[in-house]
């Protein structure tokens, strides 16, 4: 094929429109991937709306990519072969020369190559990506499941496994939406006494189906922090909800030396006082996504434990409608585009 289809945004905030583009050959250290599925992440809106610096139009969003290698550029690691099943997530490659990279901390690379920002993303039939962005997809894991796990999955999985919590500890997941419904599954599979926190009583059964041992209704008369303390205090709270007030409300529910891990993005500041941190030696930290190896670990763990995202699959032709549904909050829980 000499051309391929892509869902392109021509101007800031504009609709996703299907266009035909010329197929390019991958350069040194790069591969061309036939995209089988690509998840739609809320972070894509940061590029569509030009909220990040250096965004250039027209652009093709998409950083939850799953597919197969169809061409390998020169001077590329020989372990990658045509036909290999691979995923590319928020980590779309690193520069290798900034201070974080020289320290081996690639996910906070100062020149991180996020698909849809640094180069055309996965809302397309093909994508060219750096080889260091590739994660192997294990057998038995569908492309429509693997795509969202390259961002939403690795963020929640890594946020939990790099926390201070250990098997048997009380761990709470705030929010059971696109991120949180995976976070609850991972927490339970890691052996944590898992608490799901969400709005309303109607989500309690769903939370338990995901593996939660306890459910806290954040709209109940009992404050969330008090409810967590009644369970013994949380060693870790994974805050997936993009609501700073809701995140702040969990802080006093932490145990001594407990840890609040924030992955839900809200522009409003957290309302945290120094005394809340100092007296019980608590920690608040942000957590980014994960490297290609972290994505590969996430995929392997998910395949082993039967963890899957809940997805709505639609064809690439309906990219704009699917993107708008994600923005509206009506998706349950990850919109995924397929090319075939």
Residue 174 located in a structural domain: yes
Q: What is the mean pLDDT of residues 216-242?
A: 98
Residue 158 located in a structural domain: no
Q: What is the mean pLDDT of residues 222-244?
A: 98
Q: What is the mean pLDDT of residues 200-220?
A: 97
Instruction: Assess whether 138 and 169 both reside in one domain.
Output: no
pLDDT bucket at 340, cuts 50 / 70 / 90: confident
Residue 220 located in a structural domain: yes
Residue 79 pLDDT > 80? yes
Residue 57 pLDDT > 90? yes
- Last residue of one domain, picked from the residues 286, 302, 329: 286
Instruction: Assess whether 146 and 294 both reside in one domain.
Output: yes
Q: What is the mean pLDDT of residues 314-334?
A: 96
Instruction: Assess whether 26 and 127 both reside in one domain.
Output: yes
User: What CATH number corresponds to the domain at position 316?
Assistant: 3.90.180.10
**What is the per-residue pLDDT for 206?**
97
Instruction: Assess whether 9 and 120 both reside in one domain.
Output: yes
Instruction: Assess whether 9 and 149 both reside in one domain.
Output: yes
pLDDT bucket at 250, cuts 50 / 70 / 90: very high
**What is the per-residue pLDDT for 179?**
97
**What is the per-residue pLDDT for 239?**
98
Q: What percent of the chain has pLDDT over 90?
A: 99
Residue 221 pLDDT > 80? yes
Instruction: Assess whether 148 and 36 both reside in one domain.
Output: yes
Residue 253 located in a structural domain: yes
Among 44, 55, 60, smallest CA distance to 9 is for 60
Residue 256 located in a structural domain: yes
Residue 73 located in a structural domain: yes
Instruction: Assess whether 47 and 128 both reside in one domain.
Output: yes
Domain range for 134 is 3-153+290-338
Q: What is the mean pLDDT of residues 232-247?
A: 97
Residue 274 located in a structural domain: yes
Residue 273 pLDDT > 80? yes
- Last residue of one domain, picked from the residues 250, 271, 286: 286
Rounded Cα gap, residues 36 and 211, in angstroms: 30
- pLDDT tens track for 280-321: 999 999 999 999 999 999 999 999 999 999 999 999 999 999
Residue 187 pLDDT > 90? yes
User: What CATH number corresponds to the domain at position 189?
Assistant: 3.40.50.720
Instruction: Assess whether 71 and 130 both reside in one domain.
Output: yes
**What is the per-residue pLDDT for 1?**
75
pLDDT bucket at 226, cuts 50 / 70 / 90: very high
Q: How many residues does the chain have?
A: 340
Instruction: Assess whether 256 and 320 both reside in one domain.
Output: no
pLDDT bucket at 324, cuts 50 / 70 / 90: very high
Instruction: Assess whether 172 and 277 both reside in one domain.
Output: yes
DSSP-assigned states of every residue in 269-310: PP---HHHHHTTT-EEEE-----HHHHHHHHHHHHHHT----
Instruction: Assess whether 321 and 272 both reside in one domain.
Output: no
pTM of structure: 0.96
Residue 37 located in a structural domain: yes
Residue 263 pLDDT > 80? yes
Q: What is the mean pLDDT of the chain?
A: 97
What's the number of domains the chain is made of? 2
DSSP-assigned states of every residue in 100-142: HHHTT-GGG-TT---BTTTB--SSBSEEEEEGGG-EEPPTT--
Using omega within 30 degrees of 0 as the cis cutoff, is the peptide bond preceding 58 cis?
Answer: yes
Instruction: Assess whether 181 and 279 both reside in one domain.
Output: yes
Per the CB < 8 A criterion, the answer to whether 122 and 316 are in contact is no
């Amino acid at each position: 094929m000499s051309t391929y289809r892509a869902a392109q945004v021509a101007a800031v905030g504009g609709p996703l429109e299907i266009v035909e583009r010329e197929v390019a050959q991958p350069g040194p250290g790069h591969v061309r991937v036939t995209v089988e599925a690509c998840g739609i992440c809320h972070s894509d809106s940061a590029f569509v709306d030009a909220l990040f610096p250096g965004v250039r139009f027209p652009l093709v969003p998409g950083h939850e990519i799953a597919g197969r290698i169809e061409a390998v550029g020169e001077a590329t690691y020989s372990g990658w072969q045509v036909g290999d099943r691979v995923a590319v997530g928020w980590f779309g490659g690193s520069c290798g020369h900034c201070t974080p990279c020289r320290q081996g901390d690639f996910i906070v690379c100062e020149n991180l190559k996020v698909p849809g920002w640094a180069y055309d993303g996965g809302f397309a039939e093909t994508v060219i990506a750096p080889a260091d962005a590739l994660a192997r997809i294990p057998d038995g894991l569908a492309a429509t499941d693997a795509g969202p796990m390259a961002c939403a999955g690795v963020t929640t999985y890594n946020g939990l496994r790099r926390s201070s919590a250990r098997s048997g500890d009380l761990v709470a997941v705030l929010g059971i939406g696109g991120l949180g419904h995976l976070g609850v599954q991972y927490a339970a599979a890691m052996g944590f006494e898992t608490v799901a926190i969400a709005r309303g009583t109607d989500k309690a059964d769903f939370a338990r189906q995901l593996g939660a041992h306890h459910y806290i209704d954040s709209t109940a008369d009992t404050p969330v922090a008090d409810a967590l303390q009644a369970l013994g205090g949380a060693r870790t709270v994974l805050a997936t909800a993009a609501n700073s007030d809701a995140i702040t409300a969990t802080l006093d529910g932490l145990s001594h030396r407990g840890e609040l891990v924030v992955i839900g993005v809200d522009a409003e500041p957290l309302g945290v006082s120094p005394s809340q941190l100092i007296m019980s030696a608590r920690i608040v930290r942000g957590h980014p996504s994960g490297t290609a190896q972290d994505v590969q670990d996430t995929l392997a763990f998910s395949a082993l434990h039967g963890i899957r995202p809940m997805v709505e699959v639609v064809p690439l032709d309906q990219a704009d409608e699917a993107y708008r549904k994600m923005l509206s909050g009506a998706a349950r829980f990850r919109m995924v585009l397929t090319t075939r």
